[in-house]
Amino acid sequence: MGRNVCVVGVGLSDGPVTPDLSPSQLIAQSFRRALDDAGLATRDIEGLASAGYGGMHEVAVAEYLGLQPHWLDSTSCGGSSFEFHAHHAFRAIEAGDVDTIAIVYGNNQLSASGRTLGTGGGGGRGGMQPPGPMKYEFPTGMTLVGAYAMAAQRHMHEFGTTAEQLASISVQTREHAHRNAGAMYRDLITVDDVLSSRLVADPLHKLDCCVISDGGCAIILTTEERARALAHRPVFVRGGAGGTTHHSIQAMGDMTHTAAAVSGPKAFAEAGIRPSDVDVFCAYDSFTYTVLVTLEDLGFVPKGEGGPFVADGSLRLGGALPTNPDGGGLSNTHPGMRGLYLLCEATRQLRGDAGDSQVEGAEIAVCNGSGGWLSTQGTVVLGTEPR
């Protein structure tokens, strides 16, 4: 049918620390706020997507929210899950299978974990068995941070990227969080602060790593026809794509390239844009290296030139590519997975609702989620006008 699809509601839960709220309560809180933001009621929601993190199967989520959807998506591929959800919802609404879909997420990772959190990936903790070949990685000391650190080291070896350049990503992201009253960490930092923070896995320091928080978020998508009658200026989904290259880090063929090199060009082509057209980039920033490598793979800068690009202040408001104006996962919030927050922030930016963090004149935003060990990438292009 080729219908245009719009994001019409976004909602964020309380946070970033909510010891009295369960994952289901965080989901419900953000979902209610997304409904109110859109001016919709529960009965208007016909489809639901949820990654099932925090112990909630999507059917249980539907029941808890009072929904009886006839379209479901439970795709779970780490932090990129929600870009896949948005892409799938876009296709379903475009084709006429369903009119209105909610995508939800919530997790109280920080409060539930207490002091049990370490540097790593979860393998073997609490009696769980690590999946597949990871059973050979974890006993040797490989951690989640260690996997990303190996990839960063390879980029340094091949292209001369420096720890200072990686640190500049965290510095600029903290400048954005400084403007966000709800961010977990708001104090300004310097490159020296990052490099003098605890070394977790060489070359990644503590301040190269995302925060651990609680939180929930939700978005609602519907047809352009319905969107025009609702509360806010519609934000159009213009294109999307995804891809995966490996599961465990030992199977990553080239640690300086991710599936974003495939998903980005496909999404951009569908949206009818080039990298130079993008006004706001909402990047998955589990680690500073995640931002660097996806900037390159999406074509914002040639391969190997990401280091000088970020060190030049390009990610700041007013820079060449304002990135994560809400403070990102490095400073704002990261409750286990963060991909849905990217879509929320991009929508706020394109509506012009971002307050002190607003990118002036923003018309095109790109969200890129990253899941696993740089394993799975999902890219979604949003705009103030249809393609």
Q: Whose CA is closest to 224, among 7, 33, 383, 1?
A: 7
Nearest to 103 by CA among 66, 55, 61, 60: 61
- Whether the pLDDT of residue 1 is over 70: the answer is no
Rounded to whole angstroms, the Cα distance separating 94 from 237 reads 10
- pLDDT band for position 97 (cuts 50, 70, 90): very high
Confidence of residue 140 (pLDDT cuts 50, 70, 90): confident
Question: What is the crossing angle of helices 23-38 and 58-65, to 10°?
Answer: 60
Q: Where are the extended beta strands (E) located within 245-386?
A: 280-283, 364-371, 376-383
Q: What does the pLDDT read at residue 143?
A: 87
What's the pLDDT band for 54 if we cut at 50, 70, 90? low
Mean pLDDT of 137-143: 80
Locus of tokens 């340094």: 156
Confidence check: pLDDT of 262 > 70: yes
Structural domain boundaries in the chain? 5-112+211-383
Residue 27, pLDDT > 80, answer yes
**197-239 residue pLDDT tens:** 999 999 999 999 999 999 999 999 999 999 999 989 999 999 9
Among the ranges given (27-36, 174-183, 246-255), the one the predictor scored with the smallest mean pLDDT: 246-255
What CATH number does domain 5-112+211-383 carry, 1.10.3210.10, 1.10.150.20, 3.40.190.10, 3.40.47.10? 3.40.47.10
In whole angstroms, give the CA distance from residue 342 to residue 344: 5
The answer to whether the CB of 208 falls within 8 A of the CB of 168 is no
What is the average pLDDT value for the chain, to the nearest integer?
Answer: 93
Long-range contacts of 225-230 (CB under 8 A, 24+ apart): 225/3, 226/8, 226/99, 226/100, 227/6, 227/8, 230/8, 230/9, 230/38, 230/39, 230/40
**pLDDT tens-place string over residues 325-376:** 999 999 999 999 999 999 999 999 999 999 999 999 999 999 999 999 999 9
